[in-house]
Amino acid sequence: MRLAVVGTDTGVGKTVVTAGLTGWLREEGVDASAVKPAQTGYPPDDDAAFVAEACGTADAATCLRRLEPPLAPRVAAEREDVTLGYDVIRDGCERELDTTTVGIVEGIGGLRVPLAGEREVIDLVSDLDCTAVLVARSGLGTLNHTALSVSALERRGVDVHAVVLNEFEGASVAERTNPAELERMTGVPVHTVPPLVFSEPADTVDELRKHLPPSVLPAGALNG
């Protein structure tokens, strides 16, 4: 099974959700691992390392390519004058996903972030035939961004299994009404996760499991 944790934007919480879902599956005895196709802003950013630490083992996550500029991968590669080939990234993801029962691809920024050449993150999700969990912000403005992202994925033949509104506090009318409105607009189940408090990456697994139902994962995932 292949799952992509993608976002409406950068900084919406994809890595925390990826870590939580990967660790959840592994705790249930499912052979699961995550792959980050490309990491920019490295160092200090290292999403795969965070997921691996959250799961307590290095084989829980891998990153195919790390680039220093905190930019879209294609732009970062140009700035570093290095080659970043889409076929290499896609084939690398294929290899990693084929080694595990449930493979989770963590996206990079939003869906239309330039990845390599003329290809974008959404191209990779589609080409890898992943089911998607879309992570979005909770507050004002998320209706438009989230609905457009769901539509873009569905137009590419990607099944959007769930939307996760991250750092949900219900502090405003917009925030409190967004989950139901998004379900109406998209027909996709919407779940909320409050701001998580954790002292180390390993805490994210338990914290996420407290707030998300098993149905956030596609049918059969927890059975391996």
Q: Check pLDDT > 90 for residue 223.
A: no
CATH number at residue 197: 3.40.50.300
**Cβ 39 vs Cβ 107: under 8 Å:** no
Structure confidence at residue 26 (pLDDT) = 98
**Over pLDDT 70: what percentage of the chain?**
100
Range of the domain at 64: 2-223
Sheet hosting strand 190-193, strand order edge to edge:
61-63, 32-36, 102-110, 2-7, 131-137, 160-166, 190-193
Res 224 pLDDT > 90: no
Spell out the residues 6+ positions from residue 224 whose beta carbon is closer than 8 angstroms to its own: 29, 30, 31, 101, 102
C-alpha 137/C-alpha 145 separation (Å) is: 9
Query: What is the per-residue pLDDT across 69-116, written as a single tens digit (0 to 9) for each?
Result: 999 999 999 999 999 999 999 999 999 999 999 999 999 999 999 999
Look at the chain and report how many structural domains it folds into.
1
What integer is the mean pLDDT of 154-166?
98
For residue range 10-45, what is the model confidence (pLDDT) as tens digits?
Answer: 999 999 999 999 999 999 999 999 999 999 999 999
* Residues with a known catalytic role: 36
pLDDT of residue 198: 86
